[in-house]
Amino acid sequence: MHVFGLLGNPVEHSLSPPMHEAAYAECALDARYVTFEPTSETLSRAVDGAEALGVRGLNVTIPFKRQAYDLAEPDDLAAQIGAVNTLDFTGDAVTGHNTDAVGAVRALEHHDVSLAGTAVVVGAGGAGRAVAFGLADAGMHVEIANRTVETARELADEIPAASGHGLADLPHLIEDATVLVNCTSVGMDDRAQTIVPGDALHSDLAVLDAVYTPLDTRLLREADAAGATTVDGAWMLLFQGAEAFELWTGLSAPIGAMNGALRDRL
């Protein structure tokens, strides 16, 4: 039996186990997905122990993505982002990857969104950082808007063809954008909140909200009313998991089965 899992603290409400278990069942793999809840002080030992026990891969979630970066050999994209959310033990060395970045790109591509032109990324935290690098890597010009302007500008300085702004610039930025991604927690558990002015949204825009509780955030409702293409946060969660599954197993992820399990749990 192959064992995969998740490192985080806390992990009891994670949606990854049902999603990955559904993939194993669909592909008839003799595998299990388990969760581990180390502390910052014991994370390194947890990773060493998992490797020694033959665990083939681990996802990494809050608060360990930056710390895990130092415990593996990062691929090029993870090295740029400076954070790792997936560890792969199947090669000669432990390698680190950031599937959050790829998850956003694949979620948009799944909805036939062209990754050409300008993307506006709202938020410069961990998710915003990953998504900004991912969209830039896909060939988009990236505009980063954040509550603290200096943080947005510092992140933009690390990314080719990117610039940083305050939230007040959003209407102007969105006017010429083809993609908008909300990477803040605004709207989470409160359907009445949004950080993006509704009257700035337009029909030539694709809007991805990384928030997935609830799925129908105010941002997505207003984007839909404006005629924009909308992509809820569960798609990003799904495709970051699918990317990890494919990395570990070498198989194409059964997207339908994984999506069904994820949305059933949501």
Q: In 71-148, which residue ranges form alpha helices assigned H by DSSP?
A: 76-81, 99-110, 126-137
Q: Would you say 244 and 59 are in contact if contact means Cβ atoms under 8 Å apart?
A: yes
User: What's the rounded Cα separation, in Å, for the pair 42 and 193?
Assistant: 37
User: What's the rounded Cα separation, in Å, for the pair 203 and 128?
Assistant: 23
Residues 211-216: contacts with CB under 8 Å, at least 24 apart: 211/182, 211/185, 211/186, 211/187, 212/236, 212/237, 212/266, 213/188, 213/189, 213/266, 214/187, 214/189, 215/266, 216/191
Q: Would you say 130 and 86 are in contact if contact means Cβ atoms under 8 Å apart?
A: no
User: Count of alpha carbons within 13 Å of 221, Cβ hemisphere only?
Assistant: 10
- Residue 93: in which H helix or E strand, if any? none
Which residue of the set 65, 106, 129, 218 is catalytic? 65
User: What's the rounded Cα separation, in Å, for the pair 217 and 145?
Assistant: 19
Active site residue 65: yes
User: What's the rounded Cα separation, in Å, for the pair 181 and 210?
Assistant: 7
Q: Would you say 127 and 100 are in contact if contact means Cβ atoms under 8 Å apart?
A: yes
Q: Would you say 182 and 196 are in contact if contact means Cβ atoms under 8 Å apart?
A: yes
User: What's the rounded Cα separation, in Å, for the pair 206 and 178?
Assistant: 6
Q: Would you say 246 and 2 are in contact if contact means Cβ atoms under 8 Å apart?
A: no
Catalytic residues: 65
